[in-house]
Chains A and B, each alone.
Chain A
Amino acid sequence: MFAPTIHLPRRKTRTLEGSPWVRWTLITVALGFLAVFLVVPLVAVFTFAFQKGWEAYLAAITEPEARSAIVLTLTAAAIAVPLNLVFGLAAAWLLARFRFRGRALLLTLIDLPFSVSPVIAGLIFVLLFGRQGWLGPFLSEHDLHVIFAVPGIVLATVFITLPFVVREVLPVMQTQGSDEEEAALTLGASGWRTFLRVTLPKVKWGVLYGVILCNARAMGEFGAVSVVSGHVRGVTTTLPLHAEILYNEYDFAGAFAVASLLTLLALVTLVLKKYVEWRSEAS
């Protein structure tokens, strides 16, 4: 007479999980796909990087042009990430707290760097700051170099990574509402203090998550940076560009050594991302 109570849950799990045959087919397909498209390339990168041994690897990533590429990549990220952090927080605050004319337009514009091809993004800056561009005459008059120089690379990187922080922080701010901020104001706190002591701690995991993604993209960006860089070796080549140059010169070990650095960056990013997700769920 207890049969129905035992049967019911069992039947339910079976309908949810499907038959073992379906389950194993799906698992095999998913794992096979991952192996072909993620694991094999990952292994290949490190295999090629080390095919001439440790010393060749170290030499490839410490020669002057590689070092300058590393420095330039770090510089671009060090400028782009803080800028987009500040912009992202301000924009998220604005979009979460206020209803105004043009709000929907602003939301769409913030996504522009995601929707536009990176090459087009690079071309926009060439058209603006290039010799034939709108600001070209003004820049050459004052002996300022943007395109085919470091400022252009920084500009392109800032543009490409602009949406990351806003996109991560905005939903967090929207779900948390502004009750705590209002309470802080009634307790006498200034707007700035309220932001630092109440808003920022509330959204910190969202901010960190956005910064991590922003940084990963800033260091890994190829398309837009490639257009504005001009590939001046040792001057305007970032790590991804440097890897491409070496590859085109048939220096496979060198190209993959540089690529392995970017891969490591990706792995570190993944671990950090997972950690932040875990912490934000815990709090």
Chain B
Amino acid sequence: MSIIVEQLTRRFSPGGSPAVSDVSFHAPAGAITSLLGPSGAGKSTLLRLICGLEIPDVGRVLIDGVDCTSLPVQQRNVGVVFQSYALFRHMTVRENIAFGLNVRKLPRAEVEARVDEMLRLVQLEALGERHPGQLSGGQRQRVAFARALAIRPRVLLLDEPFGALDTRVREELREWLHQLHTRTGLTTLLVTHDQQEALEISQHVVVMSDGRVAQAGSPEDIYDRPASPFVASFIGGASVLRGRVLEGRASLGSLALTVPAAAREGEAVHAFVRPHDIKLARSVSTEGVTPFTGRVQRFKPVGGFVKVLLRMPSGDEVTVQVPRSEFDALGVVEGDAVRADVLTASVFVGDYAI
């Protein structure tokens, strides 16, 4: 059951900028596809358009190859999990899970059996008679999953399902979702602003920005081959280095990188470098600074790593992540000059503006 979205546009106020603008993508059957982007990128609106809670101004939504753009939300048979859980607070866990089944007028015995099955699936067998108010955040979210899965949906749509939970519970549930997906094999669309989440559990990622698709591809594609400066800067906490095209190469200080084919001699270029793609070494030169020497502005140990902020002679600031032992061996303090070797970077033509 694939989801195909074709040229969807949704504008909330006439004349205003659209929340979703000419979006097309394909969520392959049986896979987890992430809609990744900063808040306000239009991810949730897109999800609401797919499940039928919003009607698009233009475009089509196809589920399993069938156009359901004009189908009311009740008839789409999609499972939706909301960030706020949206559990019915006056009903018990069992009643919550049974809601969609009672709507479908299933026989009582079948409803009970299905509810039991769902409770087992989300490992909440003992809590069926509780009310949502008596559950922890993680348990509530699992009830929301059980309620959405009970109706045997064609696809599963998740709107920031772990957004309201603390980091540890979130990581546990992420693993749990991965296992759940392996067991059910349901086509899943996951809206998230957490790149870690998207890269970790999805087979396909659609990066969104300003209501448009910035890039779609496998997590490796998105991470290793960002298609635009936005994607490069959004994923992986990259720093920017600015330079020019010299003799067919991007010259960023002493570093020369391959440039895209369209670049002309002398044109401005900028490169995105990830914090762990830079190696630091003690500066050997003492007479003045070499072009690719940075000055340590600040450093801060974070767990097993040390985050170092370097200031380049060009004025660019670069964040570098160094393993703690390596940093200790380096023995630098604030104000020291260090040599920075860039291992890989993504180069784009044009000047960079934040």
Contact = CB atoms under 8 A, between A and B. Distances in A.
Given A179-B82, A182-B82, A187 B89 contact: no
Most buried by B among A182, A185, A186: A186
Given A188-B77, A188-B151, A190-B74, A183 B86 contact: yes
Nearest to B144: A183
A188 B82 contact: no
A212 B349 CA distance: 71
Interface string B54-97: 00000000000000000001111111101010111110000000
Nearest to A198: B88
Interface string B83-113: 0101111100000000110011000000000
Contacts of A186: 51-53, 73-74, 76, 78-80, 148
A101 to B, nearest CB: 13
A186 B80 CA distance: 7
B218 to A, nearest CB: 29
Interface in A173-198: 177, 179-180, 182-190, 193, 197-198
B51 to A, nearest CB: 6
Contacts of B87: 180, 183
A188 B103 contact: yes
A201 B74 contact: no
B51 A201 contact: no
Nearest to A178: B86
B193 interface: no
A281 to B, nearest CB: 13
A52 to B, nearest CB: 52
B244 interface: no
Interface in B145-163: 147-148, 151
Chain A binding surface, main DSSP class: helix
Contacts of A185: 53, 73-74
A233 interface: no
Contacts of B100: 187-189
Interface string A253-283: 0000000000000000000000000000001
Contact of A183 (B76, B82, B90, B104): B82
Contact of A201 (B86, B90, B104): B90
A190 B147 CA distance: 17
Given A179-B82, A180-B89, A182-B82, A188 B53 contact: no
Query: How extensive is the interface on chain B, given as a class?
Result: 20 to 34
A177 B90 CA distance: 15
Contacts of A283: 90
B82 A187 contact: no
Nearest to A184: B99
A202 interface: yes
Nearest to A200: B90
Interface in B23-55: 51-53
Contacts of B76: 186
A194 B52 CA distance: 16
B74 A179 contact: no
A176 to B, nearest CB: 9
B80 A189 contact: no
A189 B74 contact: yes
Interface in A188-240: 188-190, 193, 197-198, 201-202
Contacts of A179: 82, 84, 86
Contacts of A183: 80, 82, 86-88, 144, 147
Interface in A131-184: 177, 179-180, 182-184
A201 B87 CA distance: 13
B74 A202 contact: no
A187 B103 contact: yes
B161 to A, nearest CB: 13
A205 B43 CA distance: 36
Q: Which 3 A-B pairs have the closest CB atoms?
A: A187-B100, A179-B86, A183-B86
Interface of B: 51-53, 73-80, 82, 84, 86-90, 99-100, 103-104, 144, 147-148, 151
12 contacts: A182-B53, A182-B82, A183-B82, A186-B79, A187-B148, A188-B75, A188-B104, A189-B99, A190-B74, A193-B103, A197-B99, A198-B88
